[in-house]
Amino acid sequence: MNLFLKRSCIIFMIILMFFSVMAQRNDEKYKWKPIFNGKNLKNWDIKITDSPINVNFKNIFRVENGILKVSYDQFDKFNGEYGHIYYKTPYSNYILRVEYRFVGEQLKGGETWNIRNSGVMIHSQSAASMGLHQSFPVSLEVQFLGGLGKGPRSTANLCTPGTTVEVKGKTFTDHILESSAKTYDGDQWVTVDVIVLGDSIIHHYVNGEKVLSYWKPKIGGGFVNANNNWEKAHVANSDDWIKKDGTPLKSGYIALQAESHPVEFRKVELIDLEEIKGWKKLNLESLLHSEK
């Protein structure tokens, strides 16, 4: 082989190596990043009603065998100890994936609407900003519901504690916006994906199928379970929240919920779109099927 051919082969191999490395880097950008590490609750803050921040009352939140569990085995009765566990980092534009299932029976004392009821809060206020007696954060709740063995009960609905959204160009004023998801009875695992695009649009998916979309999330609408009154809901700095009425909700924290029925989470992961150059031009739904 003459010198020219040798040099050409070397240059060709270098080019191949370059594109191979670039392809690997692009694949990395689209990979799901776990925010629950499967080992412990590192990087998560806990806030339970009537308890200070990071007091894990009666060990409601724990990790066992790689599963993040909401458990009430140290309780005799539920007395309004609604709980949320918040990831440390706020996000604005991202894709979230949560795999959950309901197990066992509801704790005595829980409300009937809390049977097989949990969720993940997005665009949430922080754990540190919660009032001591506040039950739910100002947020958008992607509600998880399990079937009751009779009749339809969709999951991945939207609940709006202290928030409003738009649907088909009109402000949605009710507390629950139901999805088109089917009912999941029993203790089966369910995968919910959420594409969150700041204060523009949010999509819910269940097991890969789109079930709900809404637009322009904002602070406001009063606060549920307290006669639409911020102060009666024990929201810290309620006057400040009232002044923010109508403010676009562009970002916030991710929080998993505890509402008196045992629930398990085996996967909590996301793709931070802001880490991907040119993400606004991507088919974001295709990323739901990207390699993990």
Q: Is the pLDDT of residue 16 over 80?
A: no
What is the CA 68 to chain-centroid distance, rounded?
14
Which uninterrupted H or E stretch holds 11?
A: helix 3-29
Q: Residues 235, 162: contact at Cβ < 8 Å?
A: yes
First and final CA of the chain: distance in angstroms? 44
Tokens standing for 202?
Answer: 């949010």
Compute CA distances 226 → 82, 229, 242, whole Å.
Answer: 15, 6, 14
Neighbour order of strands in the sheet with 253-258: 44-48, 83-87, 253-258, 117-124, 140-145, 157-159, 176-177
SS3 268: strand
pLDDT value of residue 43: 98
Q: Is the pLDDT of residue 225 over 80?
A: no
Cβ burial of 276 (10 Å; 0-12, 13-18, 19+) is: middle
| Tens-place pLDDT, residues 62-121 | 999 999 999 999 999 999 999 999 999 999 999 999 999 999 999 999 999 999 999 999
| Tens-place pLDDT, residues 133-188 | 999 999 999 999 999 999 999 999 999 999 999 999 999 988 999 999 999 999 99
Tokens standing for 107?
Answer: 């704790």
Q: Is the pTM of this model over 0.85?
A: yes
Residue at 59: amino acid letter? N
Compute CA distances 285 → 97, 188, 189, 202, whole Å.
Answer: 13, 24, 21, 12
Compute CA distances 132 → 70, 136, 208, 239, 259, whole Å.
Answer: 20, 11, 38, 16, 17
Q: Is the pLDDT of residue 234 over 60?
A: yes
Q: Is the pLDDT of residue 1 over 70?
A: no
SS3 151: coil
**Among 207-216, 236-245, 255-264, which is the least confidently predicted range?**
236-245
Compute CA distances 193 → 8, 196, 209, 212, whole Å.
Answer: 48, 10, 9, 11
**Among 8-22, 94-108, 128-142, 199-213, which is the least confidently predicted range?**
8-22
Q: What is 45-61 written as a DSSP string?
A: EEEETTS-TT--GGG-E
Q: Is the pLDDT of residue 254 over 90?
A: yes
pLDDT value of residue 11: 59
What gap in Å lies between CA 238 and CA 139, rounded to an integer?
A: 15
